[in-house]
Amino acid sequence: MLSPDVKQRLREGIEEFALPFDLGRWGEQAREAFTNLEPDGAVQALTPPSYASRSIVELASCESPFKRTFGLDGGSTRPIHFANGTTLCANQAVMVSEPPLELEGLPLEAFRTVALVTQSFAPSGGPRAAYLEEGLLGIWRIHLTRDYLRGEIDHVLKGLADAASEARHALRLAEHLNLGRDDMLFLDGNVFPIGLYYLVGARRSPEVDLTAFPGATRALAQHLRLAETMVERGATYAGINKTPQTSYLLGCLPEEGPWADDRQLIRAVFHDLPKAELGWTNWFLQVRYRLPAPDRGASDLFRQVPFFKLELPPEDYAIAYFFVSDPRTAGGAGSVLKVEVPWAILERHEPEKLQRVILAEIARGAAVPNVIRRADSRARITQEEREAFIRGSGLPPDLGYNQGRGEPW
């Protein structure tokens, strides 16, 4: 507990070193900067940079041209460390629909795809990867040794588990449900695991060599296979990223501002948005990805991943996106969403019409489409389930001091 004197000293310290903050000027500066964005080739604006808002009720009343709407999400255990040097991450993916559908006489959410991904520093065993479907359940089992992965382990394992389960589940059910032109699928998160593609493609690391293990690249490529399948079937899909942390737009500002990432910039643009409205930006297209200094160049990422064996031209995988501000969430502070669509999907639509369809689904939900919210509740792995899973493994967990005091594993 902080004593009253310490609390007072902390407040004074914050006031002494904090920069002056004028909320009104903050928003004005952001709006001026946004409308003067200078796309640099790595980022393109499909229309001149602009933003708009509209009544949530009015947006929610817009009818969808799609007869069926699907939402897919995955629930993760988060990486778990064991005393024998093994790290594990599991993820289960679930899909729901509006209207509710059954498959083989069971609710759609009864079908699950699970990925169990591990890494070990023990030299024995070798890498392994296999996928098996058993009735309602699809199971990925992927094991990596230190020959392929010895750095950024938690990040890589979670990304692999997410990609292997979520995109694979969408692929599996796309066939069973015969997804087509009358269908819209929402993913919770990004349409591609760009961070991992960047790690294994543009920024080769001696500690992460997944490309040398076909089992890992097969799992990691599932999101690309999903894009190709949806294009082939004529179905539409989009990713809803609830916590965007990119700085692509910041790199296009005419001069630096006080924002740490794109989300802060968009939040500032819409800081005075009425509580009864949604705000959104124009569409952008991410053509290349900036390399870290001192390279200072930009990478055409999808031309640098030949080991994924792309079935479409590399430019078809470029991500088109726009931002949405929803003032109803985060305790009244509002949230910023990033909506992503592969270019091969967007070019079949009028961008403004597809944008309105997506905005209508967000308006009818609260920050995310209702199908995403339902999928999230079905896929979530509780802390109790996580701890039971660890105990059932037969391995002693590598717990830190805080976990020993009863904090979540």
- Burial-class residue 67 by CB neighbours within 10 Å (0-12, 13-18, 19+): exposed
Check residue 203 and give its pLDDT.
Answer: 64
Structure tokens at 97: 């629909």
The tokens of 301 are what? 């990422």
Please tell me the predicted confidence (pLDDT) of residue 329.
Answer: 76
| pTM for this model (two decimals) | 0.93
List the domain boundaries for the chain. 26-73+185-396
Give residue-wise pLDDT tens across range 159-177: 999 999 999 999 999 999 9
Residue 27 to residue 23: CA distance in whole angstroms = 6
Q: Is the pLDDT of residue 18 over 70?
A: no
pLDDT of residue 199: 82
pLDDT > 90 in the chain, percent: 63
Query: Which stretch of 4-8, 107-111, 266-270 has the lowest confidence by average pLDDT?
Result: 4-8
Cα–Cα distance, 318 to 211 (Å, whole number):
21
Q: Which pLDDT value is given to residue 332?
A: 64
The separation between CA 209 and the C-alpha centre of its own chain, rounded to angstroms, equals 23
Can you give the pLDDT at residue 19? 63
User: How much of the chain exceeds pLDDT 70, in percent?
Assistant: 93
Query: How much is the average pLDDT of 225-251?
Result: 95
CA–CA dist 393, 174 (Å, integer): 33
pLDDT for position 95: 98
Yes or no: say if 263 and 336 are a contact pair by the CB < 8 Å rule: yes
pLDDT digits (tens, 9 = 90+) for 60-103: 999 999 999 999 999 998 888 998 889 999 999 999 999 999 99
* pLDDT for 67: 97
Of 124 and 192, the one with more pLDDT: 192
Q: How many residues does the chain have?
A: 409
Give the contacts of 173 (CB within 8 A, at least 6 positions apart): 70, 95, 103, 108, 111, 179
| Range 116-128 average pLDDT | 86
| pLDDT (tens digit per residue) in 209-225 | 888 888 999 999 999 99
What is the pLDDT of the chain when averaged over all its residues?
Answer: 90
pLDDT digits (tens, 9 = 90+) for 296-339: 567 788 888 888 899 999 999 999 999 999 998 766 677 999 99
What sign results for the dihedral spanned by CA atoms 2, 5, 8, 10?
Answer: negative
Contact predicate 119/194, CB 8 Å: no
pLDDT surpassing 60 at residue 236: yes
Encode the chain in three state secondary structure: CCCHHHHHHHHHHHHHHCCCCCHHHHHHHHHHHHHCCCCCCCEEECCCCCEEEEEHHHHHCCCCCCCEEEEEEEEECCCEEECCCEEEEEEEEEEEEECCCEECCEEHHHCEEEEEEEEECCCCCCCEEEEEEECCEEEEEEEEECCCECCCHHHHHHHHHHHHHHHHHHHHHHHHCCCCCCEEEEEECCCCCHHHHHHHHHCCECCECHHHCHHHHHHHCHHHHHHHHHHHHCCEEEEEECCCCCCCCHHHCCCCCCCCCHHHHHHHHCCCCCCCEEEEECCEEECCEECCCCCCCEECHHHCCHHHCCCCCHHHHCEEEEEEEECCCHHHCCEEEEEEEEHHHHCCCCHHHHHHHHHHHHHHCCCCCHHHHHHHHHHCCCHHHHHHHHHHCCCCECCCHHHHCCCCC
- Do residues 250 and 236 make contact, with C-beta atoms less than 8 angstroms apart? no
Contacts of 299 (CB under 8 A, 6+ apart): 198, 201, 202, 288, 289, 290, 291
The pLDDT of residue 275 is above 70? yes
355 or 383, greater pLDDT: 355
pLDDT value, residue 296: 55
pLDDT digits (tens, 9 = 90+) for 255-268: 888 999 999 999 99
pLDDT at 291 exceeding the cut of 70 = no
Query: What pLDDT sits at residue 170?
Result: 97
Q: Which residues of 96-127 are buried (b: 16+ CB within 10 A; e: fewer)?
A: bbbeeeebeeeebbebbbbbbbbbbeeeeeeb
